[in-house]
Amino acid sequence: MSNTAPTTALALQHIRRAFKQADAPPLTVLDGADLEIAAGEIVALVGPSGSGKSTLLQIAGLLERPDSGEVLLAGEPASGLGDKGRTLMRRRFLGFVYQYHHLLPEFSAEENVIVPQMVAGTGRRAARDRARALLDRMGLAKRGHHRPGQLSGGEQQRVAIARALANGPRVLLADEPTGNLDPNTADGVFAEFMRLVREEGLAALIATHNPDLARRMDRVVRLREGKVEALER
């Protein structure tokens, strides 16, 4: 039996972020937020609207810079990188799932999963094979040639999840990934989402307002007064 500690896939250290306001002092959203997520761990991020969940995800995903603090992906710091370096780091380490699928409407489901792989330099045949395998694992083997407008809401979100995993990320960031679906559909999509994330061995940080979904994850953290707090299960 190995005593090796799990690798930290994502670390946020002392993250601070404030936004300027026209006729008021800056609004501090994150005030020394710290969080570590191990490889293979799925963490729910909860908190009321306006608490900073989306801002924290944007910073963790290198889509927004903090005012201070550090983001580390698999131990590699991002603070010293320029825009190109951050883009390359996102491609290497990160996958994103949003509340709305944001699929390209003119492309088929399969093509939507192929495109990000080819952008990252994968050959078309390998990208196609990976896309088909992911769609099959999401129960969409027979829907790959359909465009998003021909798919149901649950199917569209399943394609979006497959796309997020296409480049083999180490960390998956999700912002209300089933928030736009009815409860029954959301439950099924989330079950498939959790299964695939576990099979891929990813670290995942998932923002949600749904306490039932949060309880299905490995642990729950809450944003409160700009800091990340662990919640008792």
Structurally, at CATH architecture level, domain 41-66+82-230 sits in 3-Layer(aba) Sandwich (3.40)
State which residues of the chain have pLDDT below 70.
1-6, 232-233
C-alpha to C-alpha distances, 78 to 53, 69, 85, 132, 219, nearest whole angstrom: 20, 10, 8, 33, 25
Q: How far is CA 226 from CA 20, 47, 49, 56, 201, in A?
A: 16, 10, 13, 10, 29
Model confidence over 25-73: pLDDT tens digits? 888 999 999 999 999 899 999 988 888 899 999 999 999 999 999 999 9
Q: For residue 96, which of 135, 55, 57 has the smallest C-alpha distance?
A: 57
Task: Give the per-residue pLDDT at 42.
Answer: 93
**Mean predicted lDDT score pLDDT of the chain:** 89
